[in-house]
Structure 1
Amino acid sequence: MQSDLSPGATALRARSRSRRLLVRQSLLDRLAGPGTRRCVVLRAPAGFGKSSLLLTWQRELVSAETDIAWLRLADVPEGDLHFMTALMAALGAIDAAITRQAVAHARPDAYAIERLVIALVRGIAAHGRKVVLIVDDVHCAQSENVLHALQLLVEYAPPNLLCVFASQQELPMTLAHTPGSKTVLELRRDDLRFSLAESIDYLGMRLPDLDERAATAIHRLTEGWPALLRLASADVRRRRGVQSSPLVHGVPDPEPFAAYFHAHVFSRLSATQLRLLTCCAAATRFNALLCADLAGAGYTPTLCSELLEPLAREGLLSSPPEGPETPEPLEAQDAAPPRERWWHMHPLLRSVLLTRFEAWPEAERLRVHATACQVFALRGLHHQAVRHALAAGHRETAARLAERGAAALFTQGRMNEVIALVRQLDARTVGDNTNLALWMAWVELADYRLDECARSIERLRGQAGAITLDSAPDRAPALAPDMRYRLTLLSCLLAIRNDDNDALSRLLPELLAPPPGADDFALAGRRNVLTWLYLHRGEFEQARRIQRDEPTPRVDGEPMVGTLFGSLMGRCLVGLSYAVEGQMHRAERIYRQVLNEAQERGARCAEAERLTAQLLVEVLYEQHGPLVAARFIQEQLGAPDGLIPDTALRMIIVSNRAQQAAGRRREALEHLAQAASFLGRFGMDRALACVLLEQFRIQLAGKDAEAARASLQELEVLQSRHPGVEPGTLRRIADVVEQARIWLAMHDGELLPTLAKIETLSHRYGQRGQIGFVAALQLQAAEVERRLGRAEASRARVCAALRLGHRLGLLATLLGAHDNALELIRTATTIPNLDPVLSFFIERIEALAQSQRDASAEPAPAPRFRDDRRPSSQLTLREAEIAELLLQSLPNKKIALTLGLSLDTVKWHLKNIYMKLDAHGRSAVAQRMRQEAERDDDGR
């Protein structure tokens, strides 16, 4: 009697049977909408999944006993009669009674179309059941009568009729509604893009072996464009290996997408538009004025704007909101001119167009790059200007622009941008320019090329003397005094990074005596570097005194706050000094204050904010246990960056203990093996020793004494590489070795020698002021006393550990001091008239243990290590999701609403994104990511 599908729908569904459709529940919920809705409009270019979305919705409608008529105008021959016949056939397939009256009253006159529509809506109203009429490819409708019929269907629709129109372009008719009307739902290009989570689900469905990081890289390249996601997944399958496709590494390979763009984009463009776009592809960002310069004669800014605006509406170009890097117009006028509109091209479209660009004559390509270099240099866009100078073959110009830009950015405290700028240069471009060589050494430190950085510093120190009249004419220019002091700062940071206290001691006199020509930023850096130096020498009060007594650093009269050398970073280091001592309460108060202020001040404080968040991990671990702290790392921080041993070590240990708390010892050992490789690669021996101790403890707890003894041998070999390191952070290696020996002696039953070792190590820690370690050692001593049968002595040591732990804020440390720690702590509750403070502290420790048991049923967050510097490897999944919405030009409030987050949380993630991608502002995020892709292209 009735059919739930029209012939057109049946054909479409048959054609799509082999296609695995992703259920996009959020969009389906919006389509369901209120019963009063009369019209749904899906408008987006080809390939945005309009038909696929309607197919999945159709399944829900059928199960809800809704009748569906599907009319695809691309399959209907031109002519009013063909359209009316197809429309009645689609509705008649639901119920022949719907079209009976329309057939009976058909007369060829001026009112034929309206008469037909009136008859059909009456038939639908009489049908009673809900009817959804889907009209696909509305952009194919050319006849005014057809458009009039569609408009009347909406205006005359009875309550049980819902009209759904899908079109690649603006609807070629005027519907009687406003976009905000509750009777109409309009889904456009940005609504139909796949979110990051949807892309991961879709790619996982088609490529089961693809991991989330690779899926994130593909999503970012396609910008959630469904057709491009499908083509990307097909390319990965075709290559018969997930890692063999450049797309999974974030490289915009044009080959899989060329045919699509030629068929659906280039075929619609005029020759003028296509040439303009090809020119624009050479630049990662462009505006109408730049386009006119690049394209040459015959192109004016007005014409370029007219040609590009339609492409922006189709999603081929994106225009990010104004940010700190948005360039100003070239010439100031009496009246404030409107800000120029800048665009970025879709990365995959750009990769296809670059193939066309590379086929142009070399002279033309060099002209385009040289022109772009001039325009970007005039606007102070250093990164872009240098990139185009190099592409034009003008190495001397690139070196001059990079040197000028690095100096300006460094003085402003924008160190990350200096590094991103100089990364573009190679040794040939740097040549004998000593200033550029210094900037290159900063890049080597940021890229963890520590041996290269050390060699660069040594070479520059050899050139640091003043040039005399007798100097050889071909000798490289010497460093000016202000640059020499920057070299001193860099040398100190490298020494801190390497735990090289001898080098720090040698550098101290230089650091304390800046030359008269030292700039403000270098002088500001002196304050924080001195704090680091004294902190790593164990002189905690001296480290804090520098931040307390010396004046706040200023640059050009303005206080320096959020950068590496700013006051917030200095306060963060004060917090670290308390944490190293074990005073977690005091450290937490400082970290929280710094974090709040950094969040209030914005993206310029991202460096201080990220370091503080990394250090806060230790506080979260103490208060809430390893599982909570590890989730914070996964959601907020991502992989350890390795640049600062203290933060990298904390993140590694916490992530590993989360694995242990979840009962995943094998995974924990695998993680530690990865960590050891990571730390060994970057020469972080102190952190490596702590990781080996963690490995030793797991092996011993797992009754694998042979493996534990092998780990102890590794520790002893590591210790032999650093003899006589007092005072300094590397003495921690000797302490770690002694801790391992204590554990092994306890395991072997050598109780009295163990107690002596504990007393000696506790005394050593107490002398240095690192009393946090003493609390855990006291609990170990309590276990030894218990095994010796000395119950009273054991309880006394437990109470001493509890008092110290309570004063310092150490919960997780006490709980993890020994496998039997919780039972030992409970013995203190049997003490008559126990101090209520200690009783309550024991309850808190018990609550923490219970929360860890409750959480252990959930999978522990998987720890990660950064293997490269690609953006896709640096962002957490949440950050990548926010970056994707940011690149769609959504404001913060819309991002928060879309992801169900608070506005403050979105701001927090954005600042982490800016920090990780060396970006200051929204537009810089896209620029940084595309620069990485361009370097990969050049490498290929």
Structure 2
Amino acid sequence: MTSVASNPATTYSEIVLRTTPPRASRNQLARPRLSLSDERFRDRPVIVVQTPPGFGKTSLLGQWRRECLARGAAVAWITADANDDLQSFLHCLVQAVRCGCGRPHFGNQLETLGAKPGELEGVTAWLAEVAQTSLDIVLIVDEAERLSPGNVAALTYLLHNVTPNLQVVIGSRSGFDTAVADLVDYGHAVLLGAEDLRFRLDESASLIRARFGDKVNADLAACLHEQSEGWPLGLQILMTAVEKGSDLRIRLLPTAGLEGSGSEHFVGSLLANLAPEDVDFLVRISCLDLVHPDLCCKLMDSAAAKDRLEHLIRDTPVFVVSDDSEWVRLHNLIREVLQHRLSSFSAEDRTELHRRAMGWLADHGMIQEAARHALEAGQNEVAYDLAEQCLYEAMAQGHQETVLRWLDVLPETELKRRARLRLAVAWALALSERHTEAELLIQDLLETPDADSSLRYECALIASGAAYYADDPDRCTELFQPWVAAQPLPRALPLQQMHANRLAILATLNGDPAGARRIIQAVPQGDFGKEYRYGSRLGAFIIGFSYLWEGQVVLGEQVLRPALVSADADLGRRHPLSCMLAALLAATVLERDLVDESAELLANRLDVLERAGTPDTVLLGYRTAARIAAAKGIEHRALDLLEMMYTIGTSRGLPRLCVASLGEQARMHAFRFHSETCRVVVQRIDEIIAYHAGIQGRLWRRSIELIQRLAHAHALIANQDWPAAALALETSQELVEMTRQERWRIEIMALRAFVMERAGQNGRSLLLEAMNLAQTFGLVRTFVDAPPGLADLVSRAGNEAGGHKQTPTAEAARPVPPRGTAPWVVPSMVLTTKERQVLELLARHLSNKEIAQAMEVGEETVKWHLKNLFGKLDAGTRKHAVRRAQLLGLLEGMQ
């Protein structure tokens, strides 16, 4: 179509440019979870991607375009424009098919149709001609929010009348969710929003590794992902900012910030393009944690604020938007810069903003948020009253860090005269490394005249929790024992759950993990609100821990994975409970040899575990991280992590962590037969236990005894004293059988078989039993993290027994490496088989004669195919044809 569109501003050259697909970025991230081969996109004639700016809509459409070409479909591309009338839009539809589908004569009869604005005969004729083609066509319309109302109506009509060989993909910032609502309801369309396109950690890590290589490890990549909140544009901004620094490790730390760098420059450029009224609006609402249209009206004292907010959400990339709520928030990268500008406002202006926000939030029952604004507004007494109303509920919902932040600003006099506030603070302190402070508050509470039985019961819950965080299981049991038979009021569901959780913890510590699960499963289940949800998540944590205690990693993963996904979404990735769940799940998936996933789960979380994790999760987190490093051949990093665990044990007064650190070091050195190093390590273990044995109780000594016995056994293996090692392992096995720690029992059985073979005895039957149990429980790494000779022994025993099948490893699922750099043609329906063959040879710079010899045809046949190629590709020369094919995505592998 070489005619000029009816709109004088829309020339043929403009139409050609808008129907030419954009250039694909060299480092663009392919996102398998959003592939068109996914079940949710299958057999859907209409797909709409609707997100605010900066979420990578065009990149995703480009990925889908390449996928469609690879599966043989023809792809027509249109980048929408606001200046088009209906006739110009029809011309774009025709040119898109001509260009993308290699059909230069498509739509010739439509040129004379003469469609008028508001008439849809041209769209109907276009659909009819598409239906008559022999191609499966995918029409992609990007930036559809720019379309005029008439063209939106035409596109909506097209979406509701797609032909069987047509699929339509729309990329838009807004407006099309309502247009396809009926199609979504009937299952004919799928709608993707911002949350669907937000990067997940593995996607951010892949992009970061492609940019920085080995300069950025998993922890720093996770930190960068969390600062960007999965916002694709935000991640690009941060990567550009940190690239300017010489020390990426320092610049990516959470405390380092990015002031004066990429984010500030980006926000400054963005604000420069906005109207002054919009800039002032954004700066003023930056005082809010969460933004609502009605709250903005109150804050700005103007009903027009709602429309301004809607316009800014639609046209700027500064908000984090939920797909199903009016509440939004400013992106942290943006808000930091805006708050810096807000600090230049007068104190009176800032106080008035906080006062208005406090009033609206308090009136709408958002007491916690209102309390913060009251404090910022200088209304301290009001702030303390509001805090007393909400902080206990905040603690019940798992927001202990919010409570601890208030503790930093609350005067001691206010804390002493507000009992409910003290109770919330005591809970928050108990569930952290500050458990000693919690016990002091509990003493104050119990000394009050109104300390009835319900208060004493809750104080016992808090105190026993503090003892558990202090790694004193005997005292935990002693403090709660008088209340074991207590029955919290039926209406106090959070306390019922906490009661069950405490009983389950005690059952696990006493070697009855199955009993622990029965206790938690007896608690009423259901969605009883936010206060109940946190305790329920703690219950899932205990169930997962009990399965890991038994070595039931498959069952543990089934419980822990959904619990972690939910906790990450609701509480945040660095919330203490999320980190504790991640530590358990990381240990679980590592046992199944999913090394990379285990590392991803722990990334940027160990520091949270260090200050707010239970002793067991700190132990599991650091030990798992050390084993991951060892599995990747970075032994110096593994030993460094174990030394860090030792230091944490010293600083928090948790000697079991010190012993566990040394026990794991003994294990690592034993499997390399470092006998002298093992001797020194075991001596240190004995000294620590001898010092604390008289102080600690029976349960603590039992938890440490297994580590000590195994360390001695490992030292004997390192010294190759096989008879003594066999005896030490046998006594260790008796202990794990008493405590029902099946994973350790299987490893000890395998080590016993190894030692027996080295001592000249027959340990084959013992080894086969261990192998069978490991396969049953899904413990793949049991025989990987072992002495080198044990792996050979397992291989021989498996072959003799008819083959031993292990659980598939992460490495087995690695993708097939990409093709080489030689040109190759995508198997699209646009070209025939012979035309594709000619194009590939043409791209390799072969002459007509050489092409004819390669294809075993005559030169005239080659010329005939070249003529057809030139027509379909709208090319005039051989080089032009190759470049056009590359532009259209029909030719890959070109340099």
Shorter chain as normaliser: what TM range? 0.5 to 0.7
Matched, 1:420 2:355: no
Q: Deviations over 1:705-756 (max 9, x none)?
A: 222233245346645765853757776799677886687578779999x8xx
Q: Equivalent of 1:709, from 666, 675, 679?
A: 679
Cα distance change, pair 722–92 in 1 and its aligned pair in 2 (3 A): closer
Q: Equivalent of 1:569, from 501, 518, 527?
A: 501
Q: CA shift at 1:364, angstroms?
A: 0.1
Q: Deviations over 1:106-134 (max 9, x none)?
A: 66x85997665566556545543334444
Instruction: Give the match for residue 104 of structure 2.
Output: 96
Q: CA shift at 1:181, angstroms?
A: 4.8
Residues 241 and 261 in structure 2, CA contact (< 8 A), matched pair in contact too: no
Counterpart-to-counterpart distance in 1, 2:755 and 2:166: 73
Tell me which amino acid in the other structure corresponds to 2:52. P
Residues 595 and 612 in structure 1, CA contact (< 8 A), matched pair in contact too: no
Counterpart-to-counterpart distance in 2, 1:379 and 1:230: 37
Q: Equivalent of 2:781, from 846, 856, 859?
A: 856
Instruction: Give the match for residue 443 of structure 2.
Output: 485
Residues 396 and 429 in structure 1, CA contact (< 8 A), matched pair in contact too: no
Find the residue that maps to 1:21 and give its secondary structure.
coil
Matched, 1:612 2:542: yes
Q: CA shift at 1:173, angstroms?
A: 11
Cα distance change, pair 486–213 in 1 and its aligned pair in 2 (3 A): farther
Residues 68 and 131 in structure 1, CA contact (< 8 A), matched pair in contact too: yes
Instruction: Give the match for residue 568 of structure 2.
Output: none
Q: Equivalent of 1:809, from 722, 740, 749?
A: 740
Correspondence 1:513-528 to 2 at 5 A: 517-518=451-452, 520-526=454-460
Q: Equivalent of 2:643, from 666, 673, 681?
A: 673
Counterpart-to-counterpart distance in 1, 2:726 and 2:77: 75
Matched, 1:62 2:20: no
Instruction: Give the match for residue 515 of structure 2.
Output: 589
Residues 42 and 186 in structure 1, CA contact (< 8 A), matched pair in contact too: yes
Q: Deviations over 1:263-308 (max 9, x none)?
A: 779967793x654544332121254554344223xx25xx555554
Correspondence 1:212-223 to 2 at 5 A: 212-223=218-229
Matched, 1:694 2:664: yes
Counterpart-to-counterpart distance in 2, 1:41 and 1:520: 55
Tell me which amino acid in the other structure corresponds to 1:603. R
Cα distance change, pair 852–731 in 1 and its aligned pair in 2 (3 A): closer
Instruction: Give the match for residue 209 of structure 2.
Output: 204
Find the residue that maps to 2:523 and give its secondary structure.
helix
Find the residue that maps to 2:643 and give its secondary structure.
helix
Cα distance change, pair 13–822 in 1 and its aligned pair in 2 (3 A): farther
Counterpart-to-counterpart distance in 2, 1:577 and 1:172: 53
Instruction: Give the match for residue 588 of structure 2.
Output: 631
Cα distance change, pair 81–701 in 1 and its aligned pair in 2 (3 A): closer
Cα distance change, pair 593–843 in 1 and its aligned pair in 2 (3 A): farther
Counterpart-to-counterpart distance in 1, 2:634 and 2:409: 46
TM-score normalised by structure 2 residue count: 0.64
Cα distance change, pair 515–72 in 1 and its aligned pair in 2 (3 A): closer
Q: Deviations over 1:23-60 (max 9, x none)?
A: 23444416999998665544433333232222222223
Tell me which amino acid in the other structure corresponds to 2:355. A
Q: Equivalent of 2:752, from 821, 830, 853?
A: 821
Instruction: Give the match for residue 792 of structure 1.
Output: none
Q: CA shift at 1:83, angstroms?
A: 5.2
Q: Equivalent of 1:49, from 56, 63, 66?
A: 56
Instruction: Give the match for residue 772 of structure 1.
Output: none
Residues 666 and 715 in structure 2, CA contact (< 8 A), matched pair in contact too: no
Tell me which amino acid in the other structure corresponds to 1:546. P
Counterpart-to-counterpart distance in 1, 2:711 and 2:177: 77
Tell me which amino acid in the other structure corresponds to 2:535. C
Q: Deviations over 1:56-81 (max 9, x none)?
A: 2222333444444433343x865667
Residues 626 and 639 in structure 2, CA contact (< 8 A), matched pair in contact too: no
Cα distance change, pair 393–210 in 1 and its aligned pair in 2 (3 A): farther
Counterpart-to-counterpart distance in 1, 2:632 and 2:265: 51
Counterpart-to-counterpart distance in 1, 2:477 and 2:177: 74
Correspondence 1:160-175 to 2 at 5 A: 160-170=165-175
Q: Deviations over 1:604-659 (max 9, x none)?
A: 42474266247415523388899998226959997555667652476269738966
Find the residue that maps to 1:102 and give its secondary structure.
helix
Counterpart-to-counterpart distance in 2, 1:607 and 1:853: 25
Alpha carbon RMSD of aligned pairs, Å?
Answer: 5.6
Cα distance change, pair 842–393 in 1 and its aligned pair in 2 (3 A): same
Matched, 1:552 2:487: yes
Q: Equivalent of 1:683, from 645, 653, 665?
A: 653
Counterpart-to-counterpart distance in 2, 1:444 and 1:539: 17
Residues 598 and 609 in structure 1, CA contact (< 8 A), matched pair in contact too: no
Find the residue that maps to 1:387 and give its secondary structure.
helix
Counterpart-to-counterpart distance in 2, 1:252 and 1:731: 48
Find the residue that maps to 1:70 and give its secondary structure.
strand
TM-score normalised by structure 1 residue count: 0.61
Residues 665 and 698 in structure 1, CA contact (< 8 A), matched pair in contact too: no
Correspondence 1:325-404 to 2 at 5 A: 342-376=327-361, 381-394=366-379, 398-399=383-384, 401-402=386-387
Q: CA shift at 1:568, angstroms?
A: 1.1
Q: Deviations over 1:121-160 (max 9, x none)?
A: 565455433344444333334384x556656656776554
Counterpart-to-counterpart distance in 1, 2:703 and 2:782: 35
Correspondence 1:5-154 to 2 at 5 A: 16-29=23-36, 39-74=46-81, 88-93=94-99, 94-103=102-111, 105=112, 117=123, 120-121=126-127, 123-125=129-131, 127-142=133-148, 144=150, 150=155
Counterpart-to-counterpart distance in 2, 1:70 and 1:644: 52
Counterpart-to-counterpart distance in 2, 1:35 and 1:745: 60
Specify every segment of 5 or more residues in structure 1 that has no aligned partner in the other structure, as ranges: 323-340, 461-482, 489-509, 580-585, 755-778, 784-797, 832-838, 861-940
Cα distance change, pair 281–707 in 1 and its aligned pair in 2 (3 A): same
Moved more, 154-163 or 731-740: 731-740
Number of residue pairs aligned between Structure 1 and Structure 2: 717
Find the residue that maps to 1:60 and give its secondary structure.
helix
Counterpart-to-counterpart distance in 2, 1:560 and 1:148: 53
Q: CA shift at 1:680, angstroms?
A: 2.3
Cα distance change, pair 542–814 in 1 and its aligned pair in 2 (3 A): same
Cα distance change, pair 850–227 in 1 and its aligned pair in 2 (3 A): closer
Residues 322 and 328 in structure 2, CA contact (< 8 A), matched pair in contact too: yes
Q: CA shift at 1:199, angstroms?
A: 3.5
Tell me which amino acid in the other structure corresponds to 1:347. N
Instruction: Give the match for residue 727 of structure 2.
Output: 781
Find the residue that maps to 2:648 and give its secondary structure.
helix
Q: Deviations over 1:916-935 (max 9, x none)?
A: xxxxxxxxxxxxxxxxxxxx
Counterpart-to-counterpart distance in 1, 2:221 and 2:432: 25
Correspondence 1:461-540 to 2 at 5 A: 485-486=443-444, 517-518=451-452, 520-526=454-460, 529=463, 536=472
Specify every segment of 5 or more residues in structure 2 that has no aligned partner in the other structure, as ranges: 2-11, 557-583, 591-597, 786-895
Moved more, 192-201 or 844-853: 844-853
Q: CA shift at 1:368, angstroms?
A: 1.4
- Aligned-pair identity in percent equals 19
Counterpart-to-counterpart distance in 2, 1:806 and 1:853: 19
Q: Equivalent of 1:847, from 772, 793, 814?
A: 772
